[in-house]
Structure 1
Amino acid sequence: MLKIHIPGRNLIEVENIVFDYNGTLAVDGNMSRDTKDMLEKINKFLNVYIATADTYGTVKESCKDIDVVIKTFPHENAGACKKEIVEKLDREKTICVGNGYNDILMSQECIISIGVIGPEGVSGKLLLVCDIVVNHIKDVFDMLLKPDRIKATLRN
């Protein structure tokens, strides 16, 4: 569990994190060793979910050595599928991380949403609903390991 007390807001107790895969954790379907290592680190205090239509068909192979829950779904209605995954978790205890248009609905459903610009870009419409926007997935992991960064960004 990750506890974050944000001044001017309530204490947030996060148990889950839902990541988009392509464009967020992976670039062109490939996830770096550094990203895998960071997923293992945060998996020690958060339940890690990867939500993906698996455009490149690489997610299972990429994640075979790391302890994460992979949720795949058809390419159609990806946004609704991701939202449904978050709805089945406790929205008040879930962070969502994504970069695409199909990440908007899940980002509206969770307690904290993080948009990742990254090498594949980010949907401009997603930026309008995210609580935090970062340049790279590494920045997300750094925030989770140093939650005062989240506090500083979101305090009232």
Structure 2
Amino acid sequence: MITVDIPGWGNMDIENILLDLNGTLATDGKIPTEVRKKIHSLADKVNIYILTADTQETADEAMRDLKAKLIKLPGEDSKNRKFEFIKDLEVEKTVAIGNGNNDQLILKEAGLGIVVLGDEGMSVSAMKNADIVVKSIFDALDLFLKPKRLLATLSE
């Protein structure tokens, strides 16, 4: 667990981090080596879930040797499938990180929603439902590896 006391927000206990795969964690189906290292570091503290419809059929290869749980949500309506998944977790102890239209519900529902403006862009709907906007997945993961950054962004 990662615990951060944020003035105005209170004590935040983070047990789960949900990540969208394509567009957020991976670009063109590939997860950068440095991102993999950050996930491995975080996986010792929290549960990491990677959610994907796997439309590019690259998830199994991208996830090889990654310390995270791959959750495939095949078919239509991935937005609601992701939402159903997050409802089975303690949402107040869950962080959602995404970039797309289909991430907007989990970004809103999670205790903390982070939208990533990456190489594939960012949905305005996702941004409107997030608590924090970051410029890359590197920055998103660093918020939890260096939690004082959360204080700088969220303190009232």
Tell me the TM-score normalized by structure 2.
0.97
1:33 alignment partner in structure 2: 33
Distance across 2 between alignment mates of 1:114 and 1:79: 16
User: What is the correspondence of 1:1-156 to structure 2 with a 5 Å cutoff?
Assistant: 1-156=1-156
Letter in 2 for 1:58: T
CA positional deviation for 1:37: 1.3
- Following superposition, the deviation at residue 9 of structure 1 comes to 2.1
SS in 2 for 1:30: coil
Q: Which runs of at least 4 in structure 1 moved beyond 3 Å after TM superposition?
A: none
CA contact (8 A) 1:29 1:55 kept: no
Q: Does the 8 A contact of 2:117 with 2:135 survive in 1? A: yes
- What's the offset of the Cα at 1:28? 1.3
Distance 2:75 2:103 in 1: 13
Asked if the contact 1:104/1:126 (under 8 Å) is kept, the reply is yes
Task: Judge conservation of contact 2:105–2:129 (CA < 8 Å) in 1.
Answer: no
Q: Distance in 2 between matches of 1:46 and 1:60?
A: 21
Shift of residue 73 of structure 1? 1.2
Tell me, in whole angstroms, the C-alpha distance in 2 between the residues paired with 1:105 and 1:81: 10
Question: Residue 67 of structure 1 aligns to a residue in which SS?
Answer: coil
TM-score (norm 1): 0.97
Q: Distance in 1 between matches of 2:9 and 2:21?
A: 30
Alignment length (residue pairs): 156
**Percent identity for Structure 1 against Structure 2:** 38
Distance 1:105 1:8 in 2: 24
Unpaired segments of 5 or more residues in structure 2? none
CA deviation after TM superposition for structure 1 residue 64, in Å: 1.9
Amino acid at match of 1:114: I
